Amino acid sequence: MALPRPTHKACRGACKVVAPTGRPTRGDRGRPVLAFRSVSEQAEVVVVGGGIMGLAIAYNLARAGTQNVVVVDKTYLCGGASGRNGGGVRAQWSSEANIRLMQESIRMCREFATEMKINVWFRQGGYLFIVRSEDKRRSLEASVKLQNECGLPTRMLTPGEAQKLVPELDVSGVVAASYNATDGVVFPWPFVWGFAQAAIKLGVRVETFTDVLGFDTTGRRIDAVVTQKVDAKGRPTGKPSRIRTHKVVNACGAWSPQVARMLGVELPNHPHRHEICSTEPLKPWLRPLVADLTDGLYFSQSTRGEIVGGVGQERVPEGLNQDSSHAFLGRYARSLTRACPVLGDVKVLRQWSGCYDITPDQNPIVGDVDEVDDFFQASGFMGHGFMMAPVVGKLIAQYIRERTPLPMFERWNLRRYKEGRLLSEAMIIG
């Protein structure tokens, strides 16, 4: 079966980049150019990390009335994992905490365009998970049972039923599948820009190309964040300056352990390079995002027609590496064409990578720490911090303002590793 390619006319104008102001702009490498103020000398809260998690926290702090919030990031918006992912948003998980969080996050995604006045092309085509072993089938059945108990309409499918949903799917070797129609996909960049734009309107200062050099402290208390402006290659462009504050949020994703170490806090996170690619555009044919829990394959079709996807890789360079490799393309091509042979003739147009933020128990690290006062963590989300940011950002902002204990954050607190309270999550892909 050959998949039809769209005519040039069908794609015309689909690639226009729009900045948060709504005006098309062109910056370095086509990135949107945002005009931000210079670094503040004092702040109520400093959020380190300008990805979607940090921006969501800042937005919700300002929305709740916190004055003088500053976000700093070493690169540009969407320069980290928030701008390098496939945009998946799903409530199919194996833990109740993740399911219930994502039920709320998906609701917020549906209202995002109206609330933030920016189109994120949110589409709910569902997630179709497939498994190829009896052990995985039993695990998937347990997850679906829990999802149903939480109110999700997820259903188990036979291989034949999965193929009816995606006729191009080769179900040879597939033993079972699950499908939830309310899962979906958003376009990552405007999702990030929407939070940035809304936060700035509420008075938040977002300082890009601003590196954190260290902290001034008195005992357990933070007194200031030491920063320095840098260029696109990370080279200093000015003298170090200080932002006086007693409250800091560490929302740097895979870079979070570096920031925490400056305050004597050791996080168990480590970065893991995850690669992804996009094909030439095809006419619409694939509604759900398809994910194979056997090897971490996932792929979906964007609103412009590209097939966007990735696959799990164990052997990747250690550290904060965002290079691309030929090895990924080979592994992805084999896995993709096994699942969907018709895609064997489609051309790959673009390849990129980002860093997953891996924790020992595949669950995030959220909340305060024992070593430093008012140093709040929001990292370790594996590959799903992007989809959880709307609701987690709101809850973290609430916790910072009210200090009301949240059971969800207690289970995700850093001290669980010292106490041996490790968690689990079976539905990690990529």
The domain containing residue 217 runs over which residues?
34-122+184-269+359-430
Phi, psi of 307 (to 5 degrees): -90, 115
d(C-alpha 267, C-alpha 173), whole Å:
40
Q: pLDDT tens for residues 316-356?
A: 888 898 999 999 999 999 999 999 999 999 999 999 999 99
CATH number, domain containing residue 156:
3.30.9.10
Percent of the chain's residues with pLDDT above 90: 84
Do both 192 and 83 map to the same domain?
A: yes
59 with 188, same domain? Answer: yes
If asked whether residues 335 and 370 sit together in one domain, one would say no
Residues 176 and 190 in one domain: no
The predicted-structure confidence for 108-164, as pLDDT tens digits, reads as follows 999 999 999 999 999 999 999 999 999 999 999 999 999 999 999 999 999 999 999
pLDDT tens-digit readout, 236-280: 998 999 999 999 999 999 999 999 999 999 999 999 999 999 999
Whether 239 maps to a domain, the answer reads yes
Domain boundary among 307, 341, 358: 358
One-letter amino acid for residue 265 of the chain:
V
Banded model confidence at residue 409, pLDDT cuts 50, 70, 90: confident
Same domain, yes or no, for 192 and 52? yes
C-beta separation of 176 from 137 below 8 A: yes
Does one domain contain both 176 and 223?
no
Residue 14 in any domain: the answer is no
**Domain ends where: 328, 358, 388?**
358
How high does pLDDT run on average in the chain?
90
**pLDDT over 60 (residue 33):** no
Overall domain count for the chain:
2
**Domain co-membership, 369 together with 421:** yes
Residues 84 and 138 placed together within one structural domain of the fold: no
Same-domain check for residues 163 and 236: no
Q: Are 161 and 249 members of one domain?
A: no
Strand partners for 216:
224
Same domain, 205 and 304: no
Same domain, residue pair 161 and 92:
no
Average pLDDT, integer, range 368-388: 95
Instruction: Report the DSSP pairing between strands 297-301 and 289-292.
Output: antiparallel
CATH assignment of the domain containing 245: 3.50.50.60
